[in-house]
Chain A
Amino acid sequence: MTNEFSESLEKKLEETTKLGLEVVKEATEDRLMKLSVGPQHPGSGHFRFTIKVDGDYIVYCDPDPGYVHRGEEKMCEYRNFIQNIPHLERPVIHDSTNITYSYSLAVEELLGIEVPRRGQFIRAIASELNRQVYTLYWLAIYGIFLGHSTMFMWPAGDRELFIDLLTALTGARVTHAFNIPGGVRNDIPDGFKEKCLEYVNYFEKRLKEYENIFYNNPLFRQRTENVGILTKDDAINLGVTGSVLRASGVAYDVRKVEPYDVYNEIDFKVQYMKTCDSFARAYVPFLDMRESCHIIRQLLDKMPESGEVRMKLQSNPKGTPGESYKRVESGRGALSYYIVSDGSSRPYRVKISVGSFRNILALPHLLVGSRLGDMPCIYWALNYWPVEADR
Chain B
Amino acid sequence: MYVIARENKKVENKMTDTNTNTESNTNNTNKSSNLKIVESDLKIENSLYSELSSQFPDKVQLVYTKPKRIKIYVKPENIIEVAFFLRSHFGLDHAESVCGTDYPNENVIEVIYHLNSYSREELSQIIFALSTKTDRNSSYLPSLLPVFKSVEYHERETYEMLGVYFKGHPRNERFLLPEDWADIPPLKKDFRIKGR
**Most chain B beta carbons < 10 A, residue from A237, A265, A325:** A325
- Given known pairs A66-B175, A269-B23, A338-B112, the reply for A237 and B13 (CB within 8 Å) is no
| Distance in Å: Cβ of A40 to nearest Cβ of chain B | 17
Q: On chain A, which size bracket covers the interface?
A: 35 or more
For the complex, give the distance between the alpha carbons of A351 and B157 in Å: 12
B97 with A320: CB separation less than 8 A = no
| Distance in Å: Cβ of B163 to nearest Cβ of chain A | 14
Tell yes or no: B135 within 8 A of A by CB.
Answer: no
When distances are taken between beta carbons in the complex, the residues of chain A under 8 Å from B18 are 256-259, 264
In the complex, 21 of the A-B residue pairs with CB atoms within 8 angstroms, ordered by the A residue number, are A71-B186, A73-B161, A236-B94, A239-B95, A239-B148, A250-B118, A257-B121, A257-B124, A264-B18, A267-B25, A270-B23, A321-B2, A325-B114, A327-B96, A327-B127, A336-B96, A349-B99, A349-B101, A353-B99, A358-B96, A361-B149
For the complex, give the distance between the alpha carbons of A73 and B8 in Å: 26
| Distance in Å: Cβ of A249 to nearest Cβ of chain B | 11
Q: Chain B residue with minimal CB distance to A353?
A: B97
| Distance in Å: Cβ of B155 to nearest Cβ of chain A | 12
* Complex partner residue of A252 from B4, B9, B101, B118, CB under 8 angstroms: B118
Tell yes or no: B38 within 8 A of A by CB.
Answer: no
| Distance in Å: Cβ of A359 to nearest Cβ of chain B | 10
For the complex, give the distance between the alpha carbons of A159 and B174 in Å: 38
Tell yes or no: B176 within 8 A of A by CB.
Answer: yes
For the complex, give the distance between the alpha carbons of A265 and B13 in Å: 10
**Most chain B beta carbons < 10 A, residue from A109, A323, A357, A358:** A323
B118 with A264: CB separation less than 8 A = no
Tell yes or no: A238 within 8 A of B by CB.
Answer: yes
When distances are taken between beta carbons in the complex, the residues of chain B under 8 Å from A336 are 96-97, 114
For the complex, give the distance between the alpha carbons of A390 and B178 in Å: 12
| Distance in Å: Cβ of B159 to nearest Cβ of chain A | 14
Tell yes or no: B150 within 8 A of A by CB.
Answer: yes
| Distance in Å: Cβ of B98 to nearest Cβ of chain A | 9
Tell yes or no: B31 within 8 A of A by CB.
Answer: yes
When distances are taken between beta carbons in the complex, the residues of chain B under 8 Å from A321 are 2-3
A353 with B114: CB separation less than 8 A = yes
B2 with A325: CB separation less than 8 A = no
- Interface contacts beyond A78-B196, A256-B18, A327-B127: sample of 6 additional A-B pairs, CB < 8 Å, sorted by A: A239-B94, A264-B29, A265-B27, A336-B114, A358-B150, A361-B153
| Distance in Å: Cβ of A228 to nearest Cβ of chain B | 18
B26 with A264: CB separation less than 8 A = yes
| Distance in Å: Cβ of B174 to nearest Cβ of chain A | 8
Tell yes or no: A69 within 8 A of B by CB.
Answer: yes
Tell yes or no: A245 within 8 A of B by CB.
Answer: yes
A334 with B96: CB separation less than 8 A = yes
For the complex, give the distance between the alpha carbons of A109 and B6 in Å: 10
B114 with A338: CB separation less than 8 A = yes
Tell yes or no: B32 within 8 A of A by CB.
Answer: yes
* Complex partner residue of A114 from B6, B10, B149, CB under 8 angstroms: B10
Tell yes or no: B68 within 8 A of A by CB.
Answer: yes
When distances are taken between beta carbons in the complex, the residues of chain A under 8 Å from B3 are 321-322
Interchain residue pairs A-B with the least CB separation, the first 3: A239-B150, A353-B97, A66-B176
Q: Chain A residue with minimal CB distance to B150?
A: A239
B4 with A322: CB separation less than 8 A = yes
For the complex, give the distance between the alpha carbons of A114 and B23 in Å: 27
For the complex, give the distance between the alpha carbons of A327 and B116 in Å: 12
For the complex, give the distance between the alpha carbons of A71 and B177 in Å: 9
| Distance in Å: Cβ of A9 to nearest Cβ of chain B | 43
When distances are taken between beta carbons in the complex, the residues of chain B under 8 Å from A191 are none
B114 with A322: CB separation less than 8 A = no
When distances are taken between beta carbons in the complex, the residues of chain B under 8 Å from A357 are 153-154
B96 with A257: CB separation less than 8 A = no
| Distance in Å: Cβ of B137 to nearest Cβ of chain A | 19
Quick one: which of A72-97 are within 8 Å of B by CB? 73-75, 78
